[in-house]
Amino acid sequence: MSYLDPAAALTCLDARSIRADFPLLSAPDAASLVYLDSAATTQRPRVVLDAEREFLERSNAACHRGAHRLAERATAAYEDARTAVAAYLGGNPAEVVFTKSATEAINLLAFSLGSPGTGADGLSIGPGDEVVLSELEHHANLVPWQELCRRTGATLRYIPVTADGCLDLAAAEQVIGERTALVSVTLQSNVTGAVTDLEPVLRAARRAGALVAVDACQAAGRIPIDVRALEVDFLVLSSHKMLGPSGIGVLWGRFDLLERMPPFLTGGSMIETVTLTGATYADPPHRFEPGVPPVSQAVGFAAAIDYLRGLGPRRVLDHEIELTRYALTELRALPGVRTLGPEDPARRPGIISFVVDGVHAHDVAQILDDEDIAVRAGHQCAWPLHRALGVTASVRASVHVYNGGEDIDRLVSGVRRVREFFAAQGFIDLEEHR
Written as one string, the DSSP assignment of 2-71 is -S--TTSPP----HHHHHTT-HHHHSGGGTT-EE-BTTT-----HHHHHHHHHHHHHT-S-TTS-SSHHH
Residue 358 to residue 353: CA distance in whole angstroms: 16
DSSP assignments along 374-426, one per residue: E-EEESTT-HHHHHHHT-S-EEEEE--TT--HHHHHHHHHHHHHHHHHHHHTT
Residues whose CB falls within 8 Å of the CB of residue 264, separated by 6 or more in sequence, listed in order:
107, 108, 111, 112, 288
Strand 249-253 and strand 373-374: pairing? unpaired
- CATH number of the domain at 323, please: 3.90.1150.10
Share of the chain above pLDDT 70, in %: 94
Residue 36 to residue 47: CA distance in whole angstroms: 21
Model confidence at 4: pLDDT above 60: no
For residue 179, count other CB atoms closer than 10 A to its CB.
15
The count of structural domains within the chain is 2
Model confidence at 91: pLDDT above 50: yes
- Residue 70 main-chain phi, psi, to 5 deg: -65, -40
pLDDT tens readout for residues 309-366: 999 999 999 999 999 999 999 999 999 999 999 999 999 999 999 999 999 999 999 9
pLDDT on residue 288: 97
Among this protein's residues, is 381 annotated catalytic? yes
pLDDT tens readout for residues 277-291: 999 999 999 999 999
Last residue of a domain, one of 271, 292, 308: 308
Same domain, 154 and 220: yes
Same domain, 371 and 393: yes
Collapsed DSSP state (helix, strand, coil) of residue 359: coil
Q: For residue 6, is it within any domain?
A: no
Alpha-carbon distance values, 160 to 82, 172, 223, 374 (Å):
36, 8, 24, 31
- What count of residues does the chain have? 434
Written as one letter, the residue type at 423 is A
The dihedral built from the CA positions of residue 79, 82, 86 and 88, taken in this order, carries a sign that is positive
pLDDT tens readout for residues 182-195: 999 999 999 999 99
- Residue 73 main-chain phi, psi, to 5 deg: -65, -40
Predicted confidence band of residue 9 (pLDDT cuts 50, 70, 90): very low
Inter-helix orientation angle 46-58/69-89, to 10°: 150
Same domain, 137 and 198: yes
- CATH number of the domain at 250, please: 3.40.640.10
pLDDT on residue 432: 61
pLDDT on residue 168: 96
Model confidence at 38: pLDDT above 80: yes
Residue 434 to residue 421: CA distance in whole angstroms: 15
Residue 201 to residue 128: CA distance in whole angstroms: 21
Last residue of a domain, one of 292, 308, 324: 308
Distance linking the first and last C-alpha atoms of the chain: 41
pLDDT on residue 6: 40
pLDDT on residue 429: 67
Model confidence at 425: pLDDT above 90: no
CA-nearest of 118, 125, 112 to 154 is 125
- Which H/E stretch holds residue 114? none
Exposed (0-12), middle (13-18) or buried (19+): which is 92, by Cβ within 10 Å?
A: middle
pLDDT on residue 118: 56
pLDDT tens readout for residues 208-267: 999 999 999 999 999 999 999 999 999 999 999 999 999 999 999 999 999 999 999 999
- Residue 41 main-chain phi, psi, to 5 deg: -160, 140
Same domain, 280 and 362: no
Last residue of a domain, one of 308, 337, 370: 308
Same domain, 80 and 218: yes
- 142 touches 190 (CB < 8 A): no
Written as one letter, the residue type at 77 is A
CA torsion, points 141, 306, 15, 25, in degrees to nearest 10?
A: -80
Same domain, 205 and 302: yes
Same domain, 33 and 150: no
- 224 touches 32 (CB < 8 A): no
Predicted confidence band of residue 5 (pLDDT cuts 50, 70, 90): very low
Which structural domain range is residue 152 located in?
Answer: 48-308
